[in-house]
Amino acid sequence: MTELVQQSQLLKNEPLARYTSWRVGGRADRVFVAENLNELQAFMQTLDHAEPVFFIGLGSNLLVRDGGVRGTVIVMHQALCDLRVDGKYIYAEAGVTCGKLARFCANHYREGAEFMAGIPGTVGGALAMNAGCYGSETWNIVHQVLTIDRQGTTHVRNESEFIPSYRHVEMPMPDEWFLGAWFKLESGNAEESLLKIKNLLATRLASQPLNLPSAGSTFRNPHGDFAARLIEASGLKGYQIGGAQVSPKHANFIVNLGHASALDIELLIRHMKDTVLEKQGVALQQEVRVIGEYA
């Protein structure tokens, strides 16, 4: 690893609150902000085989505990932002925001990716959790993906090598992370696609608490029902622990009122699960990923 990378991209004892959409979390031992694929590959080759590694994009589906993260966090959203037409596919690197991908596809007369505009994260995160909204999921439109392993070696893998399910993707190999994907989309009408995106964003703005830090949906929707309905029916809208609150606007969102700790949020998640199980008889499954140690 070069001296330039050590000085400009490798940060030690770095607060992670600035890298997560909830704006909470302790410090990471090391944060590597990747600028391009070559530097990322070179950095991966320096890692000890036992070093814990975490890849994050916009941190929009992530809770980092107050005690921080032991190991290395690799931030992708400031780099790996290549977005292009590649033959009959659209190629997007992991750091591209889902909203930008949706608009790019529409402007290049491809339909089927409009729903991505409603996902508040990056392509890498959407691939990792099979993110979706309004009845569509990321892996429905994936053709191939590019991954990287701990040794810095890249791999092109077909969609058939993965087992996607609701908000989860089973990886064919351990310790591989997504660098990008080729998306298969039908030819479409740009004006119609852009109108769909506009309407989708208007619906999102009207129904979700976008004015406060949150991490999107806290729980997965149970089969045939909605987590928000179950939470609201349990009387939890507006319920607060410390600076964390069940949003009065959307019950499946937890918002940071400005002074929340990660512990406040995690305790509220537990309380919501326990209350819904007690009052509705449904065991909610958490959608938010939690990493790190308690303070």
- 3-75 CATH fold: 3.30.43
Tens of pLDDT along 91-104?
999 999 999 999 99
- Specify the domain boundaries for CATH 3.90.78.10 within the chain: 227-291
The class of domain 227-291 in CATH terms is alpha beta
pLDDT score at 258: 96
pLDDT score at 51: 92
- Specify the domain boundaries for CATH 3.30.465.10 within the chain: 83-207
Q: Please give the structure tokens belonging to residue 29.
A: 């031992």
- Specify the domain boundaries for CATH 3.30.43.10 within the chain: 3-75
Q: For the structural domain made of 83-207, what CATH number should be given? A: 3.30.465.10
* Burial group, residue 272, by CB count within 10 angstroms (0-12, 13-18, 19+): buried
Tens of pLDDT along 41-96?
999 999 998 999 999 999 999 999 999 999 999 998 878 999 999 999 999 999 99
Per-10-residue mean pLDDT, the chain, length 295? 49 96 97 90 92 93 97 90 96 96 98 96 95 93 97 96 94 92 97 97 94 95 95 98 98 98 98 98 96 96
How far apart, in whole angstroms, are the C-alpha atoms of residue 192 and residue 190?
6
How far apart, in whole angstroms, are the C-alpha atoms of residue 5 and residue 10?
6
Report, as residue numbers or ranges, the catalytic residues: 167, 217, 287
How far apart, in whole angstroms, are the C-alpha atoms of residue 94 and residue 80?
6
Residues with Cβ < 8 Å from 117, sequence gap 6 or more? 98, 99, 102, 103, 197, 200, 201
How far apart, in whole angstroms, are the C-alpha atoms of residue 200 and residue 26?
34
The string over 275-284, giving b where at least 16 C-beta atoms fall within 10 Å of a residue's C-beta and e elsewhere, is: bbeeebebeb
The string over 184-215, giving b where at least 16 C-beta atoms fall within 10 Å of a residue's C-beta and e elsewhere, is: bbeebeeeebbebbeebeeebeeebeeebbbb
